A and B are shown apart, each in its own frame.
Chain A
Amino acid sequence: MLEITISVLILIGAIFTFIGSLGLARMPDFYTRLHGPTKATTIGVGSLLIASMIHFSTQDDGLSFHEVLVTLFLFITAPVSAHLLSKAALHLRIRSLSEPPPLVDAVDRDVLTNGEPLPRRSRAPRPNAHQSR
């Protein structure tokens, strides 16, 4: 019974991990690629860690709970890295299927070049990047 539970959890985890990477490989643009790794992979690895927790807890050296720590850590950090990656991509004006809201462009442009339009898909020049320090 226990072995069946562990096996099912391992299978679910491995399948979700695989689907996350599949999403990374086959989705058409950066923003859609972001979804696979942040969701499917996180829950896949979480499921594997829970399976491992049950596996080691039922052996003779007593309970083993530090897998929970890795799971929690992944669940807290995955959204943060997704947010940062997405922000970096918006900043670099990566090609996208969906149009970013004009708000982002307006703020980015004001901050970086004092109102000059930016060329798409190239890094913005940073005025006084070195002098200001």
Chain B
Amino acid sequence: MLSVVLSIAFALVTAAIGLTFWRLLTGPDKPDRILALDTLYVNAIALLVLLGMHLDSALYFEAAILIAMMGFIGTVALCKYLLRGDIIE
């Protein structure tokens, strides 16, 4: 039963990544694209967690933690760039 549910979840999260990617490519303004990148990293965490359960390996968590931290810092840096025109002042 778990494997069936995991397959459905994989399909849903992959569809979510597809939708986010579409917004990343078409999104009319810069904040839209940054928002899409932000959502993309959260979706990647979801995919990694599912993969960890599917393969029964806890190793994928280290990657998930790193993606969570780096993704957040990336979003903040990009927003700061839009607000100031500079990242490091």
Chains A and B in contact, CB within 8 Å: yes
> A21-B16, A25-B22, A30-B32 are known contacts. Are A37 and B39 too (CB-CB below 8 A)?
yes
Determine if A44 and B46 form an interchain contact, defined as CB atoms under 8 angstroms apart: yes
* B38-A81 in contact (CB<8A): yes
User: In the assembled complex, how far is the CB of residue B57 from the closest CB belonging to chain A, in whole angstroms?
Assistant: 10
What are the interface flags for A51-81 relative to B under an 8 Å C-beta threshold, 1 for contact and 0 otherwise? 1100110010100101101100110011011
Q: Is the CB of A51 within 8 A of B53?
A: yes
User: Contact: B79 with A85, CB < 8 Å?
Assistant: yes
Q: How large is the interface on A (under 10, 10 to 19, 20 to 34, 35 or more residues)?
A: 35 or more
Q: Provide the residues of chain A in CB contact with B75, threshold 8 Å.
A: 81, 84-85
Residue of B2, B20, B76 near A3 (CB, 8 A) is B2
By beta carbon, the residue of chain A nearest B20 is A21
A92 and B31 contacting across the interface, CB-CB below 8 Å: yes
Q: Are A17 and B38 in contact (CB under 8 A)?
A: no
Instruction: Using A17-B12, A21-B17 as known contacts, say yes or no to A41 and B79 having CB atoms under 8 A apart.
Output: no
Residue of A nearest to B3 (CB): A7
Task: With A21-B16, A66-B61, A81-B38 as known contacts, state yes or no: A88 contacts B82, CB within 8 Å.
Answer: yes
In the bound complex, residues from chain B placing their C-beta under 8 Å from that of A109 are none
- Please give, as numbers and ranges, the residues of chain A lying within 8 Å of B38 by CB-CB distance: 37, 81, 85
B20, A92: Cβ atoms closer than 8 Å: no
Instruction: Spell out A's residues near B (CB within 8 Å).
Output: 3-4, 6-7, 10-11, 13-15, 17-18, 20-22, 24-25, 30, 33-34, 37, 41-42, 44-45, 48-49, 51-52, 55-56, 59, 61, 64, 66-67, 69-70, 73-74, 77-78, 80-81, 84-85, 87-89, 91-92, 94-95, 123, 126, 129
* 8 pairs, CB–CB < 8 Å, chain A vs chain B: A17-B16, A22-B16, A48-B9, A61-B58, A73-B68, A74-B42, A74-B68, A88-B31
